[in-house]
Every structure is written in C-alpha cells, then in structure tokens.
Amino acid sequence: MDKLNQSSDNSVQSAPSDNKVANDGTGVVQLDGYLEPFKPQLRSRFSKAQKWINDIDNSEGGLEKFSRGYERYGFNIASDGTITYREWAPNAMRAYLIGDFNGWNRDSHEMKRDDFGVWEIVLPPHNGQPAIAHDSKVKISMVVPNDGQRAERIPVWIKRVTQDLNISPIYDARFWNPPQKYKFKNPRPPKPASARIYEAHVGISSPDPKVATYSEFTKNVLPRIKHLGYNTIQLMAIMEHAYYASFGYQINSFFAASSRYGFPDELKELIDTAHGLGITVLLDVVHSHASKNVHDGLNYFDNSDHLYFHEGARGRHELWDSRLFNYGNHEVLRFLLSNLRFWMEEYNFDGFRFDGVTSMLYTHHGIGTGFSGGYHEYYGPDVDEDGVVYLMIANEMLHNLYPSCITIAEDVSGMPALCVALSLGGIGFDYRLAMAIPDLYIKWLKEKQDIDWDMGALCHTLTNRRHGEKTIAYAESHDQALVGDKTLLFWLCDAQMYTNMSTLSEFTPVIERGMALHKMIRLITHALGGEGYLNFEGNEFGHPEWLDFPREGNGNSFHYARRQFNLPDDSLLRYKFLNEFDSKMQWTEEKYGWLHSPQAYISLKNESDKVIVFERAGLLWIFNFHPSSSFTDYRVGVEQAGTYKIVLNSDDPEFGGLGRVKNDGRFFTTDFKWNERKNFVQVYIPTRTAIVLALEQTI
C-alpha cells in the first residue's frame, strides 16, 4: 500500500502548549513521539533552513525582497520606457541581446558583466517609446568557453514564449509589454475552511477536438464549477512546457503562462472571474525538475552543466528524462522562490499544488523504492536535505507573505511533519494528497468481486492518515484518467457506457451497479477520507473515456484530449444524474462542513452485511455496499438523540437512483445503547445505497 497515509498509531494527537515547544526544530516530537530518535536530523533540517533565512536577511534584505527576483532579472521596464535586461550566466565570456528590435545583429547590443556573473544591458527609450516593441522576439546570445562558440538562448526569466509547430517545435521568447495592464477587479477569496478542489486542465476543457483557451474556460467551465459547488480550482499545465503531451511536467519557461491557451491577460481574467465567484485558484507548480531542452529551456543555459542544476548524474532524473535543481545554491533559491512569488503577484494565484515532492525529498527520487512507513526511511542517508530545506523556506515565505495561501504536497512516501509548521520543525504544507485511496479502488475493481470488498480495509485506508496533518482525499485524479488506466465509471461499466447510458435504453444491472458505486465511492471518500476533497474535471459525471494527448503514437489525435461536457448537458443521458449528485454532495458539505470537522467516529463495519456507519459534523452516514441484500429496519447507533431526516440520498431518482428510499421520512432515536452509541435509529437501506441523516432542526 502507498504509505502516504500513516498508521493512526503514529498520528498527531494535539498541538503542544506554546511554552513547552522547543525552538530547535524538534517541537514536532511533542506531536508525534515516534520522532524522538530522529531529533538530530530534525535539528539539522531546521538549523539549515534558519541559516538560509538569516543569510538571506543579511545579504538580500530578507525573503520578501529576495523573492522579487523577477523585478531585477529578466526584462523590466521603467515608467519612462527604459528597458533593463539582466541574466545570470557566469560561464559566459561575452553576452549580447538580440532580436527583432536590432535586426538580430549579434554584436550591436553587448551586455556588461558584474562580479557575480550577472549580465546587464540598459536600453533607453526611442522617440518616447520602449526600444523593443511589444510582443517582438528576443534572445540572449553568449560567447561560451568551448572554442568561443555562440550559445543563443531564450531568456530565463521571460514572461511569454510562443511556439509555431508549422515552423519548429522550439519556442520563441517574446518581449511582453502590453500598452494596457490588466487590472484585477475582484479580491482574493478568504481561505476556504473546507477545500473542495476541482482539478482542471485548460487545454482539454472542451468537447471539441482542439486545445481550448483560457477565455473558453472562463466562459464555459467556471459556471459549471460554481454550479457543482467546488470552492477551489487546481489548474494543471499552466507553466510553459515544451510538449503538450507531457501534461505540463516538462517546464521550459518557468515565468511564462502557456501560450497554447491564449494571452497572459486571458489567464488573469480567468483567475479574476473565479475570484468574483468566490473560488480560490491554485497553480500546479513543478519545481521538482525541468525540461532538458537546451535551445528553449534552462539546460546548459550558459553552456555549463550545473548552472541551475546539479552537475553530472545527480542532476538528471532517469525516469522523467529531465534535469534536477540544485536546491543548495543561492541563485537557484532566488529563482525558485521568485517564481512562486511571481505567480502570486502577477496572476493573483492563491497557492500551489507542488508536483513531484517525493523526488525533491529523496536523492533516489522514489525510483525503484517502496516506502514501508518506517521512520528510518524519512531521516536516513537517502533524504535530500537541501530539497527538504527548500520546501521549508518556500512554505514559510508563502504563508508569511500571503496568510490565505494554500500549499499542497504530492508525496507518495508519507514523510512525517510534511504538513506541520516550520516553527515546530515541519515542512509547512497545508495539505498532503491521500494517494493510497484511489489505488485501493482500482485494485478492488480489477481484482475483487463486490461481495469480497472488505469494509474494515476500506475504512482503514480512508482514515489511516497522520491526524493533525490535513489530507486531500480523492477517489480518482488526473493520474487515474490517463491512458493506460481507466476512470472509475469506465472500470465499473466498461463497454455498456457506449450503449446503455441513455435513459431511452435499458437500465441494465451493469449500469445500475456502476452508477450506484460511483456515487457511493465518491461520497464515502469525501466524508471519511480527509480534510479536503479533490476531483478531476469530467470525472464528477463519470467521463466515459481516458485522457490521452495528441502524440505520434495516436496519430496526433485530440479525440481523447477533451472533456465531453456535452454529456451531462444532454437530458436523455444518465451522466446528468451523476453530475447532479456530485453537486448535491459539494453543496451539502458547504452547509455542514464535515471536511473541517473532527475525524469521523465509525460505529459499524459489518463484513457480512457490507454496511458502514459513522458520524461526522453532526451527520449520520449509512452505506450499504452489499451487492444484493437490502435491509429493512436496520438498527444504527447514533450519539445524539433527536429526530433525523435525510439530507443526501444516493437512491434518489434525481441522481439516477431507484427511489426506494423516500426523502421525506423522519427517523426517531431510541434511548438504547447500540454499537457503543447512546441511541439508535432504524432505517431502510437498499442494496448499494448511501444515505446521510441530519437532525431535523439543522436542515
């Protein structure tokens, strides 16, 4: 099992009192006693992070100033139109700025070098206008040590690059200086108490076989997300990447929003519009590695192997075929921290999902390594302390500068204290992804009959996390939707999705089962699995097909690189039922707030009946996973006495159910201890049905 979710035996129980917390990075030991033997490693991480912060305070004026590197490096324009361009390239012997502005003359605009290897050129305005025209092409041309050859590169801090595949796959750098700057109309929303995340990719967000645009997402997809009740969007593949089919994970220009989907201001409008709807927007940030492209990436920028990356084998990721950052380098820290700050300031993002965190935490990058959950794995020689410290500093900076900022870690290893503050010796993320949960569902759907589903194992997987470190639960994400796998509904219904998802066709046992389990799996994951919830776009309505980007292997087809939003909009198709159930689920959470409520109390895991019962946020949750048995007057324990009514019912015909459970029923508690609860109610729970009850006065 994926060890992101640690045993509850190792769980964080409660926060220590302030006057007892050590200030040497070992405060987390009071949260988790199993960390006691690893105090030296905790102190080492913490002291290294503090040393970096102190050094930056002394040499750079603090993290706030240090993280504004984009205001010094790259192209910056003064109010009078003067352009200053700076680039760090210590290995270069000479450097020149070239572009449309000077007819690509390789010698006319030579740059000056300072003692730290930073090259600079100042271009005064010409006839009252900037010397470089808006959106014109530019490059840096460097004379490098190997026989004095020229190395012509895209500027590292460039804010816009474009690609014309009809000419070449290599990107062009653009001097982006629009005459009117975009003005944001809406403030950032407050940090959501419950993070309900809609994971989305702009390019696939259309039923049409094409690359969709920022503007189309704003117009067509944002209203869907609002209707569904998600309060957070996680945007994938925004940082400019060399190859569309890489899903955004081969970044070549870290400060450029992908031009595939439109112009920078259109992305700003997307975020601004989402904020106006009260929706938080996160960026999927890739600081775990970079494209190995030379002509339009960071690799061999000044013809050295180790400018931004580790030199030699340590600087290369074997599986990803990409370059690995040297997190212990001063200028690399400036670059990466400034990159985070740029996206927060320039585009008004509200936080980040950090991709590939496992690769950053360990020198083996998770390659060929299974994590047993033993703490020695998290504090042994395989840990990349520089990577750990970078993440500590990044989280500290972001949360100090932006109190509403959200950071999420994608880590499969289960690193303790990942979501604990730096002051206690933690790495400082807000949330971690519960990556073991979708693995369980896929494994069971592939290998088990429904009657063999283990209710205890299901509950264990959903609750087996480091309590006190918030977790984002999900039944499936983009990983499960990619080609080579299948969406949950596809696993459940397979070929009948193409023949029996119309309301005019037979409601077959396969479709009935698939729709019922699709709803139940998502609901129990939402309710029991964490302190946040995530869904990949389209999966809320049971998207019928996997995700596969245009590539040589599929004839460069867009057929599977799109989301068929037309399906839930068709009143004759059953996808609408799943879509509306998902919406009801999100809005019910908005009302009752179970994601930010304490851990659920599970009162029943009945293996023979396949029934699970628990309480969370004052709600009573009842699941019958039995494939054939329904139960009348089933006795269910509940702590709080009163009259209960149904607030969510997977069997509701509005959600494609059979209507066996009526929503207008009232359930009266009996003062008799049952399943270690003070009272019980009796309910009818048909096969493959979930119902959620609330006290009548709360409805």
Note the pLDDT tens digit of each residue in 300-334: 999 999 999 999 999 999 999 999 999 999 999 99
pLDDT at 335 over 50: yes
Mean pLDDT of the chain: 94
Let me know: does 261 contact 212? Beta carbons within 8 Å: yes
CATH architecture of 69-174: Sandwich (2.60)
- 18 falls in which pLDDT band (50, 70, 90)? very low
- 146 falls in which pLDDT band (50, 70, 90)? confident
Span 448-455, mean pLDDT? 98
Q: Look at residue 604 and give its three-state secondary structure.
A: strand
Q: What is the pLDDT of residues 273-290, one digit of tens each?
A: 999 999 999 999 999 999
- 21 falls in which pLDDT band (50, 70, 90)? low
What single letter denotes the amino acid at residue 106? Answer: R
Percent of the chain with pLDDT over 70: 97
Q: What is the pLDDT of residues 550-588, one digit of tens each?
A: 998 899 999 999 999 999 999 999 999 999 999 999 999
Span 159-182, mean pLDDT? 95
Tell which residue, 626, 593, 624, 622, has the closest CA to residue 680: 622
The CA distance from 400 to 659, in Å, is 51
What pLDDT is attached to residue 369? 85
Q: Which of 410, 469, 537, 652 is catalytic?
A: 410
Task: Considering the chain, tell me which residue range(s) the CATH 2.60.40.10 domain(s) occupy.
Answer: 69-174
- 484 falls in which pLDDT band (50, 70, 90)? low
Q: Exposed, middle or buried by CB within 10 Å (0-12, 13-18, 19+), for 274? A: buried
What pLDDT is attached to residue 479? 84
Task: Considering the chain, tell me which residue range(s) the CATH 2.60.40.1180 domain(s) occupy.
Answer: 599-698
C-alpha 293, offset from chain centre: 25
Residue with tokens 């939003």: 565
Q: What is the pLDDT of residues 261-276, one digit of tens each?
A: 999 999 999 999 999 9
Which tops the pLDDT comparison, 415 or 14?
Answer: 415
Tell which residue, 125, 119, 130, has the closest CA to residue 86: 119
What pLDDT is attached to residue 55? 97
pLDDT at 522 over 60: yes
C-alpha 605, offset from chain centre: 32
What pLDDT is attached to residue 186? 98
Which is it for strands 611-616 and 619-624: parallel, antiparallel or unpaired?
Answer: antiparallel
pLDDT at 210 over 60: yes
Percent of the chain with pLDDT over 90: 90
What pLDDT is attached to residue 7? 33
Residue with tokens 């929503």: 663
What pLDDT is attached to residue 372? 86
**Angle of CA points 679, 684, 686, to nearest 5°:** 135
What single letter denotes the amino acid at residue 86? Answer: R
Q: What is the pLDDT of residues 337-349, one digit of tens each?
A: 999 999 999 999 9
What pLDDT is attached to residue 9? 36
C-alpha 168, offset from chain centre: 31
355 is catalytic: yes
What pLDDT is attached to residue 2? 33
Q: Which of 355, 386, 580, 589 is catalytic?
A: 355
Chosen CATH of 599-698 out of 2.60.40.10, 2.60.40.1180, 3.40.50.2000, 3.40.50.300: 2.60.40.1180
What pLDDT is attached to residue 602? 98
Structure token digits, residue 214: 């920022």
